[in-house]
Amino acid sequence: MAIELSRAGCQVTVLERSGEELKDRGVGIGVPPSAFEMLVARDLIDADLPGFRIETVVRLCRTPEHERYGYLAWAQPGNIVALNWGNLYRNLRKRVPNGAYRTRHQVIGIQQTDDGTASVILADGRRLEFDLLVCADGYRSLGRQTLFAEQRVEYAGYILWRGMLPEGEIAESAPLEGVLVTPGYRGGHGVFSFVAGPDGSAEPGRRLINWAMYLLVPEDEFAAFFTDASGQRRDGTLPPDSIPGWREAGLKRRARELLPDYYAEIVERSSGTFAHAIYDCTVPAYGTRRVCLTGDAAAVTRPHTASGALKAINNAVTLATALSGEARLDVALWNWNLEQTAAGNRLVHLGRQLGDAFVTNAVDWSTMNATTMKQWFESIITIPHEVFADEPAANEPPVGLPRKRHERAA
């Protein structure tokens, strides 16, 4: 957002509550190929940023006859580029001038004034004023709470347990080459794929295996599950190395029961695993007057849609385009708000459909083949999505942006 608005002529200030750069967790992010190409075309990332093109989503499951690699139910056509989160972040971060990026600036309050400005109140008591305030503060957004106090994120009833393993820790890589593997089981499914290594290497042997497992955690077990190794109750997130050892061991035993052996061994060998609750949330608008919401600060979608990064990127590109093409700030924001609200809420509904089908009410994949599973999938998904299309949607925004200055934006 900072890059796009700067290039649109805005004077941008980024307020980051942390005192340091965001930590590199090494996990993966999936985006459609068209989004990756758009990022390169707009010089938001380097053209040589390592990404793994995935054209097949492998749906398989453990059976008594297929304990090692699983029974292949469906090799589903897909359109995904798997990226290393840390590599993507560093590519974006280096395009934001250091002078515009202010760490240790925790925002604790947001106010709008009648004179057409917005201000933030910082933890140290300072107040900063802007012509436009863009809230990119995640799924528990202060911006959303300020604008729409009645709007709450809703727990989906399950969590995502994640980890990673250097490729050198496994004896064979062939089952993961060029595919996204999703082993299905009662109460969820896993996700396994290669991403580039921490040093950006995409060479075989130096990659990371990025994996995740969706697991049901009822509401009455939520508080116990999200109590960390020190006994502190966490609010829906257990960072790396914070899961109690006995719980992680139990999760790994569960993985051994649910996954084919090849994938269970990857999970067992991974250290420093982490977990977070799955939420979603629709919003009545992406902003009011001079305050905008972006990314998960606005509509919160479940990870099944593989659209979290794409949604945030699209918010940034379209807002910069709107500001560049309209002299009146209020008109530009109104038009942008209408379009993004509809698109964001649509993705929330898609995520709910996918979550219900693949986690909450998951069916037994061992009873299905490619034909019957495709029929099942098409019957449960009523909102098409680019990740599962045979061809990328032709909806890339224009690369060139006319320059028009708007005085201040944060």
pLDDT at position 402, please?
30
Task: Please give the DSSP secondary-structure letter assigned to residue 365.
Answer: G
10-residue stretch averages of pLDDT, the chain, 410 residues long: 92 86 65 86 90 89 96 91 84 90 91 85 94 92 92 94 94 92 95 85 87 96 96 93 95 97 97 94 90 93 81 90 81 88 90 92 94 90 53 32 37
pLDDT at position 384, please?
55
Domain that holds residue 387: 2-409
The CA distance from 19 to 16, in Å, is 8
Domain count of the chain? 1
The CA distance from 221 to 209, in Å, is 29
Q: At a CB cut-off of 8 Å and minimum separation 6, what does 174 contact? A: none
Amino acid code (one letter) for 115: D
pLDDT at position 395, please?
33
pLDDT at position 18, please?
81
pLDDT at position 26, please?
54
Q: What is the DSSP string of 66-92?
A: EEEEEEEEEEEEEEEEEEEHHHHHHHH
Burial class (CB in 10 A: 0-12, 13-18, 19+), 166: middle
The CA distance from 299 to 296, in Å, is 6
Q: Which residue has the tokens 């995640």?
A: 138
pLDDT at position 252, please?
97
Q: At a CB cut-off of 8 Å and minimum separation 6, what does 115 contact? A: none
Provide the CATH number for the domain around residue 305: 3.50.50.60
